[in-house]
Amino acid sequence: MSEQKPRIVVLGGGLGGVIAAYDLDEKMQNSAEITLVSDQPKFSFTPSNPWVAVGWREANAIQIDLDKALGRKKIGFVAQEALRVEPAKNQLLLADGSALSYDFLVIATGPDLAYDEIEGLGPGGHTVSICQTHHASAAAEAFEAFCADPKPIVVGAVQGASCFGPAYEFAMILDTELRRRKLRDKVPMTFVTPEPYIGHLGLDGVGDTKSMLESEMRSRHIKWITDARVDRVDEGAITISKMRPNDEPSSRQLPFGFAMLLPAFRGIPALMGIEGLVNPRGFVLVDEHQRNSAFPNIFALGVCIAIPPVGESLVPVGVPKTGFMIESMSAAIAQNVRAIILGYEPKAKASWNAICLADFGDDGVAFAAQPQIPPRNVNWSTQGRWVHFAKIAFEKFFLRKVRLGKSEPAYERLALKIMGVKKLERSASKPS
Return the bridge partners of 219, or none. Answer: none
Q: Are 220 and 170 in contact (CB under 8 A)?
A: no
Distance CA(376)–CA(114), nearest Å, equals 31
- Beta strands (DSSP E) in 245-388 are 247-255, 258-262, 265-266, 298-300, 349-350, 354-359, 364-370, 378-384
Helix (H, G, I), strand (E, B) or coil at 251: strand
131 is catalytic: no
Environment class of 24 (CB within 10 Å of its CB; exposed 0-12, middle 13-18, buried 19+): buried
The answer to whether the Cα torsion of 193, 196, 198, 204 is positive or negative is: negative
**What's the CA angle centered on 100, arms 97 and 102, to 5 degrees?**
160
Alpha-carbon Rg for the chain, nearest whole angstrom, is: 21
Looking at residue 431, what DSSP letter applies? P
Of the residues 131, 147, 304, 356, which is catalytic?
A: 356
For 356-386, b/e burial (b = at least 16 CB within 10 A) is bbbbbbebbbbbbbbbbeeebebbebebeee
Of the residues 131, 147, 163, 304, which is catalytic?
A: 163
Helix (H, G, I), strand (E, B) or coil at 348: coil
Beta pairing class for 349-350 and 42-44: unpaired
Distances (CA, A) of 289 to 12, 234, 281, 299: 19, 44, 21, 8
Distances (CA, A) of 116 to 22, 124, 231, 272: 34, 9, 12, 16
Q: Are 120 and 275 in contact (CB under 8 A)?
A: no
Distance CA(370)–CA(380), nearest Å, equals 9
Q: Are 426 and 347 in contact (CB under 8 A)?
A: yes
Amino acid type, 167: A
Instruction: With both helix axes pointing from N to C terminus, report the angle between 165-180 and 209-219 in degrees, rounded to the nearest 10.
Output: 20
What's phi and psi for 45, nearest 5 deg? -85, 90
Instruction: Name the residues annotated as catalytic.
Output: 163, 356
